[in-house]
Structure 1
Amino acid sequence: MEAPTAPTRRAGVALLVGAATVIGLLGILAGIAAAIGAGAAGAGSGVAVPVVSKAQADVPDNVSAVVNGTGLPGRAPVSITRQGPLMLSVYEDVSAPTRILARADVWASAIAAGAAVLILVPVLRSTASRDPFAPRNAPRLALAAAVALVGWGAAALLPVAVAGTVVPGVAAEAGAWQPVFRPDYWPVGFVVALAVLAFATWHGRQLAADTDGLV
């Protein structure tokens, strides 16, 4: 009765590892495609950056296109829409690097998530094979946590940095705006969880080694 169990478990492990590998690769490819798409946008393509009004202490949540600079001589047309924080959309004369960096919240998150999943594939394999304290599992978990943290930082900070370069060029008639840093903090939970798992795995490895030494 026990004989079919091992092949079945191996098939399940292979399926899990294969699925994780595909998901990781798709995440990286999706992030690269998003960055390329942002940079390759045609003439007149805009860039949206997070801002807050200098003139108003509170802008209503239902705000939409409250300013429109179309037709201002020598100035890029702009509009304001509510997408979580206010997003200042500026059109025309936006360089490809600016458009790419402004979309870092999309491509940096996807690439970091995909890379972290690929780093964790060997951990999944060894854990599913009943060896959670394999020698390299703790460093891989720590590396995945670091990659996720860097990805979160890039996704949160780069659009704000771009806003700092875009806002000064907005016409005064379109209102007074300044960049705002309002990141999503939920990805930090994954970073902390991976770091805790890395420490627990390292500690478990040390205990296992001490136990083996006593036998």
Structure 2
Amino acid sequence: MATSSESPAREQGSMTSAIVVGAVTVLALLGIAQGVSIAARAATDATWVVSVPVRVTPSLPDDMPQTGLIVDETATMERMPTAPGGGLMMWLEHADPLTARLAAAPGWIAWLTAGVVVLLLLPVVRSTSSGRPFAAGNAGRVTATALTVAAGWALATALPVLAARRAVERELGNVPAAWFEPRLELQWWPVAFAGALVVLALAVRHGTKVVADTDALA
């Protein structure tokens, strides 16, 4: 009698779980599609405006004003620091497709990475919620998630620098390119997140081994 009364509740729970998993999967795929869309639009949309991180060099004259500087009709400086090494953003309008895609990398890489991370962790969350945190493959999925986050961070950090280099090396109207150089912008929280995932993967791997050894002795 208990089995027959619990069966509908169990089936309803399974259906609810399947709906949630399906919805999350769709959202993850939409995130990946959004990333692809941003990357494509950055290279094809004629009105797309992107910014690249640069800094001034010792070649900058001491008498340069601190106000904004119009370089030409396609490049505008957000601000002009007076001290060499000061950071600023160079805004590019109608940049060439490759430069635009590289400059917009943090945005589209974030969407792609988030979508892939959700897809990788979804089976881990499902097995953990059903009481099987050390199911086969979970450690590998968490490790793959950590690598995905680390790779996304590295690309999102490096590609804007490449875009800045391309922007600096091009003709800047009456402003010497020697006044500027690419600037590296570092965000450390993704590294911390990837490190936490590595620790979690090691813990899951150890737990999986313990469970396997226990089952072998049973």
Q: TM-score normalised by the shorter chain: which range applies?
A: 0.7 to 0.9
Partner of 1:50: 53
Superposed counterparts of 1:120-159, under 5 Å = 120-159=121-160
**Counterpart pick for 1:78 among 33, 51, 75:** 75
TM-score (norm 1): 0.82
1:178 aligns with 2:175: no
**Distance (whole Å) between structure 2 residues aligned to residue 108 and residue 15 of structure 1:** 28
Aligned residue for 2:166, secondary structure, equals helix
**Counterpart pick for 1:37 among 41, 44, 47:** 41
Aligned residue for 1:79, secondary structure, equals strand
Structure 1's unaligned 5+ residue stretches are 57-62, 71-75
1:24 aligns with 2:28: yes
Distance 1:115 1:45, change over 3 A: closer
Distance 1:90 1:207, change over 3 A: same
1:197 to partner: Cα distance: 1.6
1:20 to partner: Cα distance: 2.5
1:9 to partner: Cα distance: 3.8
1:46 to partner: Cα distance: 4.4
- For 1:89, the aligned partner's letter is W
**Distance (whole Å) between structure 1 residues aligned to residue 30 and residue 210 of structure 2:** 37
**Distance (whole Å) between structure 2 residues aligned to residue 45 and residue 172 of structure 1:** 24
Aligned residue for 2:54, secondary structure, equals strand
**Distance (whole Å) between structure 2 residues aligned to residue 213 and residue 30 of structure 1:** 46
Partner of 1:87: 89
Contact 1:77 1:91 (C-alpha < 8 Å) held by counterparts: yes
Partner of 2:204: 201
Partner of 1:109: 110
**Distance (whole Å) between structure 1 residues aligned to residue 189 and residue 15 of structure 2:** 34
Contact 1:142 1:195 (C-alpha < 8 Å) held by counterparts: yes
Distance 1:67 1:181, change over 3 A: same
Contact 1:67 1:174 (C-alpha < 8 Å) held by counterparts: no
1:189 to partner: Cα distance: 2.4
1:97 to partner: Cα distance: 1.5
Q: How many residues align?
A: 199
RMSD (Å), alpha carbons: 2.4
Contact 1:138 1:202 (C-alpha < 8 Å) held by counterparts: yes
Structure 2's unaligned 5+ residue stretches are 61-65, 80-86
1:173 to partner: Cα distance: 2.6
1:124 to partner: Cα distance: 1.8
Partner of 1:59: none
Partner of 2:165: 164
- For 1:78, the aligned partner's letter is A
| Cα-to-partner distance string for 1:124-147 (whole Å, 9 max, x where unaligned) | 221122111111111111111111
- Aligned-residue sequence identity (percent) comes to 35
1:174 to partner: Cα distance: 6.7
| Cα-to-partner distance string for 1:32-90 (whole Å, 9 max, x where unaligned) | 11011101111x7544101112257xxxxxx7x711023xxxxx6421226xx621013
Contact 2:71 2:77 (C-alpha < 8 Å) held by counterparts: no
Distance 1:130 1:13, change over 3 A: farther
**Distance (whole Å) between structure 1 residues aligned to residue 187 and residue 27 of structure 2:** 22
